[in-house]
A and B are shown apart, each in its own frame.
Chain A
Amino acid sequence: MDGVHDLGGMDGFGAVPIEADEPLFHERWEGRVWRMLAAVMGSTTIDRFRYTIEQMPPAQYLASSYYERWLWAIEHLAAEQGILDSADQPVAVSRPSPTMPTWDGRFHRGDRVRVRNPVTTGHTRVPRYLRRHVGRIERVAFAWPNPGESAATGTYGEPELVYTVTFAASDLFGTTADHTVTADLGESDLEQV
């Protein structure tokens, strides 16, 4: 979805708020929210948690602190799972483990690839600033279930290959940019150039 959470490359946010010696949690409730995520995460996917946050109305998202956004998502996921008013434990969802893929993919190191433009109101991990741009495959990073499917179903499906892809920032943000940007993108998000 084209949400307000997709911030990469946006202008106007100003200086980074760097706080010296910051505490882990600024207020007591933040730590409790942080830990209570575990109560809903056992029965859903990390992608559905992210997708839930992305459903926040844009103005509210921008006006909320980090843990307020978590709180909003946990309230919604707990209601969805029925655990606010029932002792029944929803079906557990097991997380894939970090293993390297054993199969060969469609792309190989050095290949030029174009990022697909996913027109979807569902969840995607393709940032807006990379869509339709051409990059180069750096390496096969790992294999992982497709985030869009994991967000929609709340369960993890079959893994797909995820590639680390390098882009010239001058292509993305204008000729004065002299750095590179890498992102980790699923095989279904990419097409051969």
Chain B
Amino acid sequence: MSELTPDQRTEILERHLHDHGHVDPEDVDAAIAAAESTTGDGPSPALGARVVARAWVDAEFRERLLADPVNTIAEYHPQTVPIAVLEDTPSVHHVIVCTLCSCYPSGLLGNPPAWYKSFEYRSRVVREPRAVLAEFDMDVDPDIELRVHDSTAEQRYLVLPLRPANTEDWDEEQLARLVTRNSMIGTGRPMQP
């Protein structure tokens, strides 16, 4: 099969699976369309941003999110694997990775970006996180403790980033627009107002 392109191999695979009733091409189309949707109802950075913004404005929700993340995030979307929330503080910053494959909080954020799955990120961020973060234009002060979390088991991680300064008057919806995907992975900060 190696002389065929991935496109051709995919077509052959889908034809075989469809012929025997194991794949419905219309279901494939619908699933791709849902994954590509940016409404923020299904798992996507927009959905993660809503959870983060709520945690910034609602202290009771934040407590629950940290203490019982699976059930708290399930209020937005059901979680099928354990998930832990890592709260950044002024002195501690968290970064997540999966060195062995591509484990990612997909049940909240959707599919991971290509760089997260790259050999470059997977090999380097556990070893030299400050250098890797600099490539994301993120300088982390030497006084800040950096914690890198390797997703080696069936538990996923979400970074709860620091709320940007000068947003005291902002409501949840406005704040959600400042939350970037990378800020929930630890390779970025939320946008500044």
1/0 contact trace for A1-37 toward B, CB 8 Å?
0000111111101111111001011111101111110
Q: Which of B54-62, B117-125, B158-166, B168-176 contacts A (4 or more CB under 8 A)?
A: B117-125
Number of interface residues of A (CB under 8 A): 74
Chain B residue numbers with a CB within 8 Å of A38 are: 31
Known: A8-B122, A9-B123, A10-B123. A75 touches B1 (CB 8 A): yes
Q: Are A84 and B9 in contact (CB under 8 A)?
A: no
Number of interface residues of B (CB under 8 A): 65
Q: Are A98 and B70 in contact (CB under 8 A)?
A: yes
Chain B residue numbers with a CB within 8 Å of A33 are: 6, 10, 13
Known: A74-B13, A98-B70, A147-B153. A19 touches B114 (CB 8 A): yes
- How far does the alpha carbon of A97 sit from the alpha carbon of B99 in the complex, in Å? 24
Cβ-based interface call for A142 (8 A)? yes
Chain A residue numbers with a CB within 8 Å of B70 are: 98
Cβ-based interface call for A113 (8 A)? no
Chain B interface residues (CB < 8 Å from chain A): 1, 6-7, 9-11, 13-14, 16-17, 20-23, 27-28, 31-32, 35-36, 70, 79-84, 97, 99-102, 110-111, 113-115, 117-124, 126-130, 132, 135-136, 142, 145-155
In the complex, 18 of the A-B residue pairs with CB atoms within 8 angstroms, ordered by the A residue number, are A7-B99, A8-B100, A18-B135, A19-B114, A22-B114, A50-B101, A75-B13, A85-B16, A87-B20, A87-B21, A89-B22, A98-B80, A129-B127, A173-B127, A179-B129, A179-B146, A184-B152, A184-B153
